[in-house]
Amino acid sequence: MTEYLSRSDDALAPILAYSTDILADRAEGLWIYDQEGNRYADFACGTAVTNLGHNHPNVIAAARAQMDRVVHAGCVFRYESIIRLAEKLRTITPPGIEKFGFANSGAEAVEAAVKLARHVTGRQGVITMRGAFHGRTMGSVAYTTSNARYRDGYHPILGSVFVTPFPRPYRWGKSADESTQLALDELGYKFKHEVTPKNIAAFLIEPMQGEGGYYPSPPTFLEALRELADQHGIMLIFDEVQSGFGRTAEWFSSDHYTVDPDIIAMGKAIANGLPLSSYGASADVLDRWPVGAHGTTFGGNPVSCAAAGAVIDTMQTLLPHARELSAHAFERLHKLQVTHDTIGEVRGLGLMIGIELVKDLTSREPDADAMKFVSRYALEDELIVISCGPDGNVIRFIPPLITTIEELDRAIDTIDAALTEYEVH
Ligand SMILES: Cc1ncc(COP(=O)(O)O)c(C=O)c1O
């Protein structure tokens, strides 16, 4: 075994599931370099974080400049980078989102969003979607059902959390409309048999479900949730932790829909790798959350906020390129689907693309072995791709926005070659 792997096993908690055994020496743009000089195109983006590519010079420069001024504030004093970031976020988040709070991780942002909804509505119930991923803390794991094993060993989990089906047209073998109707019928039964709407503080949903298999919501499902939320005084929370910041070639996945949230949670790519997350809502909602009802020591760190400001400025100029990349990727991947019987479906928004691998096109049985084969094959061809979905059979195709068309083509060629080889065996 390579020396660093045994040292790693010896010293680190074994809890993290690393996607590769690479020991990174440095990273730049699309590429990660190991100590032996090998390089790998990172189509995992540190699990949807480095959307501008690794070590983007604008982000590094902003963080460096901030480090020379002030690094930590811990709620003792105010600083310019956090105020400026909130002002910028207001210009890119959905209509009605006006004020922002900050935290360190996606799970914390989700927890803050739910606490806010509970506090201002005076209700405790939360309705979440089956297959969702909202984080691993004891609160957020109660909202996470992308895989039951994330809860193993932690029961009982938080109460008054009600899980309702999220429409999955491909897996259910139904049209988007039929799947939406089925999901809404189930939600109706929930209100009839388990909990009345007046107990519900929030619907919590990823408009584009991530870890659960890269499923975009059918538009009619989000529209129906918005209507129910308005009818019953329920807050609609969009978790855009993975789908935000250019991942769908728009600022947020909700930009692909006509529905706006009451509360938004953001994280991951917000600072392109520095730890930061955020939650936002209208002034009316946030002003009803009293001082001291929530707090943080490190959240909204000055350096991370400065980096996030540079992310927004830089990403603005890259979104048109991201849209071109997306159109090209979908065109090529749909062609690939015709030539490979292992590809059941290609779906997604922008550059958040899921390629679902199946054993056969009729039964749609998930093929996790195909996914493992593709990952291994790709790594030998200098490409990192990771999976998503409860069955581990969906290629999570998430290039950074700085990828060139040629680099994108090369990655798709690699996946094509991997599937060809898998299919002959
Ligand atoms: C949609 C979504 N919400 C929340 C989280 C949790 O984020 P973190 O791991 O930063 O706590 C994730 C992480 O993958 C996510 O994809």
* Structural domains of the chain, count: 2
Q: What is the structure's pLDDT at 372? A: 98
CA distances from 171 to 115, 180, 398 (A): 33, 13, 21
For tokens 């409860």, the residue is: 390
Instruction: Provide mean pLDDT across the span 326-347.
Output: 98
Q: Is 241 in the pocket of ligand 1 (CB under 6 A)?
A: yes
pTM over 0.95: yes
* Domain span including residue 403: 3-55+318-424
**CA 349 – ligand 1 centroid, Å:** 18
pLDDT at 305: 98
The answer on 226 and 375 residing in a single domain is no
Counting every residue written for the chain, the total comes to 425
One domain for residues 304 and 328: no
The mean pLDDT of 105-120, rounded to a whole number, is: 98
> Over 80: is that where the pLDDT of 332 sits?
yes
Ligand 1 pocket member 131 (CB < 6 A): no
Q: What angle do CA 128, 133, 138 make, to 5 degrees?
A: 80
Which of 47, 133, 238 gets mutated to test ligand 1 (max ligand atoms within 8 A of its CB)?
A: 133
pLDDT at 344: 98
Q: Are residues 50 and 160 in the same domain?
A: no
129 Cβ below 6 A of ligand 1: no
Kindly give the distance from the C-alpha atom of residue 148 to the centroid of ligand 1, in angstroms, as a whole number. Answer: 16
Q: What number is the average pLDDT over the span 188-212?
A: 98
Task: Indicate if ligand 1 lies below 6 Å from the C-beta of 237.
Answer: no
> Measured from the CB, is residue 202 less than 6 Å from ligand 1?
no
CA–centroid distance, residue 135 to ligand 1 (Å) = 5
Mean pLDDT of the chain: 97
Residue finishing a domain among 283, 298, 314 = 314
Specify whether 46 is located in the same domain as 166: no
Selection from 279, 275, 176 nearest residue 235 by Cα: 279
Q: For ligand 1, atom 13, name the residue with the nearest CA.
A: 135
Note the pLDDT tens digit of each residue in 42-87: 999 999 999 999 999 999 999 999 999 999 999 999 999 999 999 9
Q: Is 89 in the pocket of ligand 1 (CB under 6 A)?
A: no
Q: pLDDT class for 2, splitting at 50, 70, 90? A: confident
- Phi, psi (rounded to 5 degrees) for 203: -90, 125
Ligand 1 atom with least separation from CA of 243: 1
Whether residue 1 is predicted with pLDDT greater than 60 in this model: the reply is: no
* CATH classification of the domain holding 78: 3.40.640.10
Same domain membership, residue 341 and residue 287: no
Q: Are residues 329 and 306 in the same domain?
A: no
Ligand 1 touching residue 100 (CB < 6 A): no
Ligand 1 centroid to 350 CA: how many Å? 19
Residue where a domain stops, chosen among 314, 347, 376:
314
Residue among 134, 147, 205, 394 whose CB has most ligand 1 atoms within 8 A, to mutate: 134
- Give the integer Cα–Cα distance in Å for 207 and 102: 21
Is the pLDDT confidence value at 254 over 90? yes
For ligand 1, atom 7, the nearest C-alpha belongs to 106
Q: Are residues 230 and 102 in the same domain?
A: yes
Q: Supply the CATH number for residue 402's domain.
A: 3.90.1150.10
With bands split at pLDDT 50, 70 and 90, how would you rate the model's confidence at 26? very high
C-alpha to C-alpha distance for 394 and 69, rounded to whole angstroms:
44
User: Do 130 and 256 belong to one domain?
Assistant: yes
CA of 267 to the centre of ligand 1 (A): 7
Question: Which pLDDT score, from 0 to 100, does residue 425 have?
Answer: 83
272 plus 153 within the same structural domain = yes
C-alpha distance from residue 278 to each of 101, 102, 129, 176, 265 (Å): 6, 4, 21, 31, 6
